[in-house]
Structure 1
Amino acid sequence: MAQDKVKIVSVMNEKGCCVKPNEISIGDGTYSPLSRHLYFYINKQSLINNDDVRAFTKYFLARENRFEITSVGYVPLPQNTANKTRDRLQTMK
């Protein structure tokens, strides 16, 4: 019978430190090798011409959606990176 729970474990990273997974340790890379970055690339023309692509990108970057992103197990972008990306998105029209 399969369990419906995932056990959170600390790992010893390459620096020899025992690290628990959390938004900070995953975001700064100290919880490795069990975490990785997830990138998505958007075609500039699609961003400009396709309202759905633009809406999805804005949703993903919106401050108010950080809770939803974390509730499904993802770690949102660091705030300074999200801010820079939102600013760049605003200039693309």
Structure 2
Amino acid sequence: MSDVARNQVEDFPKCYGSLDELREALVGAGVSLPGLRLDPASFADGDGIPLFDLGRCNMTNAARLVEALRRGVSPPGTPTTTPAPARQGS
């Protein structure tokens, strides 16, 4: 078994954990992607990068996904941490 194939086999459980996290986050945003799965063909292509197949979704779920992404993504260049509140003078 090649090193790439061995890594893919070892990463398979991690991929399922990531798939579950993605599914939970989507459900939390009101989005249902019934076709969400790991793409089995990506494990066979030898590049060592498993892919997620997001499947098909209807217009309602697509709109919910767009809304969730727009709410949760900061514009480029925006700091990702919230600055500490300024201390008032003593």
Q: TM-score, normalised by structure 2?
A: 0.25
Larger Rg: 2
**Highest RCO, 1 vs 2 (Cα 8 Å, sep ≥ 6):** 2
Q: TM-score, normalised by structure 1?
A: 0.25
